[in-house]
């Protein structure tokens, strides 16, 4: 069995959240958990590019249309 470090587990959980929930719900969850600490730029550049800003905007607009 492969053991993951905390950052790897967190990245996997966040990926699942983003796949299953609307972006505003994920942001709300992060705010509730007070996960906004740390070095944003360091974390950003450690993560693989998954979505562009335009992708996120389109996803938000799609969810708004569904409501």
Task: Render each residue's pLDDT in the chain as its tens digit; 67 residues.
Answer: 677 778 888 888 888 898 998 888 888 888 888 765 677 677 666 766 666 778 778 888 888 787 7
Domain that holds residue 54: 6-66
Of the candidates 25, 8, 5, the one whose C-alpha atom is nearest the C-alpha of residue 17 is 25
Residue 1 lies in a domain: no
**Confidence (pLDDT) at 11:** 84
Domain count, the chain: 1
**Confidence (pLDDT) at 44:** 65
User: How far is it, in rounded angstroms, from Cα 67 to Cα 44?
Assistant: 31
CB burial readout 1-28, b (16+ within 10 A) else e? eeeeeeeeeebeeeeeebeeebeeeeee
**Confidence (pLDDT) at 39:** 72
């Amino acid at each position: 069995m492969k053991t993951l470090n905390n950052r790897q587990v967190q990245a996997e959980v966040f990926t699942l959240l983003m796949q299953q929930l609307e972006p505003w719900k994920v942001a709300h969850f992060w705010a509730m958990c007070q996960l906004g600490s740390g070095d944003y730029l360091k974390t950003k550049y450690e993560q693989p590019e998954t979505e562009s800003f335009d992708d996120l905007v389109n996803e938000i607009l799609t969810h708004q249309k569904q409501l």
